[in-house]
């Protein structure tokens, strides 16, 4: 569906819209639609997956998981989860506003606040909810937010839901960002607070903007900063504390959110900041207050993953070695990639509209990767999105590159 068709679709009556969308989906499935591949077994470098077209699960080499440090299936983490289940059971039976907040939640919040270099933190059931949490808990319609035009869907959704007036900016162009601020300030209501948010290491390509300058501009203009560092924890910084540790800027943003669902191999997320800001979230943010607290096995998994990350910083080094090795190999083969700093390697193809076919063929040949397609990204920015893990061996990386080369040649895209 192209952009015009999407807009037309938006205008259709609800029932017609649903019918149309469903029939489009069925056609896409016939053509080999790849979303909804079903995995089986623990998340690791080799797994079993089946797509919507087959009845059987096939062995695949996984280069499409955010479990960068290989902690989603780590023996120590699993043993701590089992221990926690024996001791504390499973669910919390309530939201933090009522009965669903325990000593285990509090201890983990303190640990995560220290990791972020902040005074306090709140735990949320997902990164998506964490982004809803700070928007909902801090802002109102008098305020203004200026957000990274490539922000995650959760940030954009949160802003729309809260009705905060907004502007977008391109964080690669900080001069323009700085220039737009006086005009925004002039137009703002009396007493309005301006907020701004960017990603740490960027989820789309693993690059990092000039965060030092961004923070300086925001400070000079009395802007409250929030960093979405979903992909930074465990992939960056000497001890895995994320993008700000990597840049020696730990604790320099006003608020920060990070997920526990990627490098930490579990689920959930946190927002950290000063005692005052976290007080606001804990007491006024509906997405924190009114959803059940994280289940005990998840808390145990996050804590145990942090233990492993602290004890074995070499996991982070190995991840970067693997990423560099794969980047070098792909470039030597002639691929157009971005050399980012996290576990993500985007591969672009000159031939447009081909990336879905390449990914489908890779899957048939035993390689699981992801893609970013229009409308998620502009049509000329479609990409195969490779995620590297600490636990990949050199041999597995060689096999993956060989397959990508063969399939790209098959589609005359290399």
Ligand X SMILES: Cc1ncc(COP(=O)(O)O)c(C=O)c1O
- Close Cβ partners of 122 (under 8 Å, ≥ 6 residues apart): 96, 109, 133, 270, 271, 278, 281, 282, 285, 288
Find the binder of ligand X among 197, 235, 259, 327 (CB under 6 A): 259
Closer CB to ligand X, 26 or 161, in the complex? 161
For residue 197, the cross-strand partners are: 147, 226
Closest CA to 43 of 69, 66, 72, 68: 72
C-alpha to C-alpha distance for 223 and 255, rounded to whole angstroms: 12
Residue nearest to ligand X according to CB distances in the complex? 127
C-alpha to C-alpha distance for 285 and 114, rounded to whole angstroms: 22
Residue 338 DSSP class: -
- CA-to-CA separations, 255 to 136, 268, 293, 390, in angstroms, rounded: 14, 17, 21, 29
C-alpha to C-alpha distance for 212 and 294, rounded to whole angstroms: 33
Q: Is 152 in the site for ligand X (CB under 6 A)?
A: yes
Find the binder of ligand X among 126, 197, 263, 390 (CB under 6 A): 126
For the bound state, the minimum distance from the C-beta of residue 131 to ligand X, rounded and expressed in Å, comes to 6
For the bound state, the minimum distance from the C-beta of residue 219 to ligand X, rounded and expressed in Å, comes to 23
For the bound state, the minimum distance from the C-beta of residue 342 to ligand X, rounded and expressed in Å, comes to 10
User: Which range of residues in 98-106, 107-115, 124-132, 310-318 is near ligand X by CB under 6 A?
Assistant: 124-132
Categorise residue 286: left if φ over 0, alpha if ψ from -120 to 50, beta otherwise.
alpha
Q: Is 128 in the site for ligand X (CB under 6 A)?
A: yes
Closer CB to ligand X, 131 or 387, in the complex? 131
Find the binder of ligand X among 64, 70, 96, 127 (CB under 6 A): 127
Closer CB to ligand X, 261 or 359, in the complex? 261
Closer CB to ligand X, 145 or 407, in the complex? 145
- Residues of this chain, 185-224, that bind ligand X according to CB under 6 A: 199, 203
For the bound state, the minimum distance from the C-beta of residue 399 to ligand X, rounded and expressed in Å, comes to 26
For the bound state, the minimum distance from the C-beta of residue 360 to ligand X, rounded and expressed in Å, comes to 22
Asked if 194 and 224 count as a contact pair (C-beta separation under 8 A), the reply is yes
For residue 412, the cross-strand partners are: none
Sheet holding 38-40, edge to edge: 38-40, 46-50, 58-62, 367-368
Closer CB to ligand X, 342 or 391, in the complex? 342
For the bound state, the minimum distance from the C-beta of residue 90 to ligand X, rounded and expressed in Å, comes to 20
Cα separation of the two ends of the chain: 27
Residue 13 DSSP class: -
Closer CB to ligand X, 67 or 335, in the complex? 67
For ligand X (CB under 6 A), the number of binding residues is 14
For the bound state, the minimum distance from the C-beta of residue 346 to ligand X, rounded and expressed in Å, comes to 14
Three-class SS of residue 124? strand
Closer CB to ligand X, 92 or 243, in the complex? 243
Contact residues for ligand X (CB under 6 A)?
A: 126-128, 131, 152, 154, 199, 203, 228, 230-231, 259, 261, 269
């Amino acid at each position: 569906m192209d952009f015009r068709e999407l807009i037309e679709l938006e205008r259709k009556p609800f029932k017609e819209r649903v019918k149309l969308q469903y029939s489009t989906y069925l056609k896409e499935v016939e053509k080999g639609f790849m979303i909804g591949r079903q995995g089986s077994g623990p998340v690791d470098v080799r797994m079993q997956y089946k797509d919507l077209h087959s009845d059987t699960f096939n062995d695949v080499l996984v280069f499409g998981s955010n479990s960068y440090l290989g902690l989603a299936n780590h023996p120590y983490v699993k043993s701590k989860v089992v221990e926690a289940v024996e001791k504390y059971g499973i669910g919390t039976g309530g939201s933090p506003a009522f009965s669903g907040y325990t000593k285990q939640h509090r201890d983990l919040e303190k640990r995560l606040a220290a990791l972020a270099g902040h005074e306090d933190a709140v735990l949320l059931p997902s990164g998506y909810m964490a982004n809803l949490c700070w928007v909902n808990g801090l802002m109102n319609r008098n305020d203004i937010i200026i957000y990274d035009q490539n922000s995650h869907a959760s940030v954009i959704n949160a802003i729309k839901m809260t009705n905060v007036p907004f502007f977008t900016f391109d964080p690669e162009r900080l001069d323009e960002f700085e220039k737009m601020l006086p005009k925004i300030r002039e137009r703002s209501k009396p007493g309005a607070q301006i907020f701004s948010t960017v990603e740490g290491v960027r989820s789309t390509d693993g690059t990092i903007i000039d965060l030092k300058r961004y923070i300086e501009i925001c400070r000079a203009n009395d802007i409250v900063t929030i960093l979405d560092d979903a992909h930074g924890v465990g992939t960056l910084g000497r001890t895995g504390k994320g993008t700000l540790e990597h840049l020696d800027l730990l604790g320099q943003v006003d608020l920060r959110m990070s997920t526990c669902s990627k490098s930490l191999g579990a689920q959930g997320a946190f927002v950290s900041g000063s005692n005052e800001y976290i007080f606001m979230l804990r007491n006024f943010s509906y997405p924190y207050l009114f959803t059940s607290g994280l289940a005990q096995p998840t808390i145990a998994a996050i804590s145990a993953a942090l233990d492993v990350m602290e004890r074995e910083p070499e996991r982070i080094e190995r991840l970067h070695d693997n990423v560099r090795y794969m980047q070098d190999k792909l470039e030597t083969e002639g691929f157009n990639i971005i050399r980012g700093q996290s576990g993500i390697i985007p591969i672009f193809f000159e031939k447009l509209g081909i990336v879905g076919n390449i990914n489908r063929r890779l899957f048939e040949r035993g390689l699981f990767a992801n893609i970013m397609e229009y409308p998620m990204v502009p049509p000329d920015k479609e990409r195969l999105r490779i995620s590297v893990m600490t636990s990949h061996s050199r041999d597995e990386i060689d096999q993956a590159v060989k397959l990508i080369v063969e399939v790209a040649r098959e589609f005359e895209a290399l």
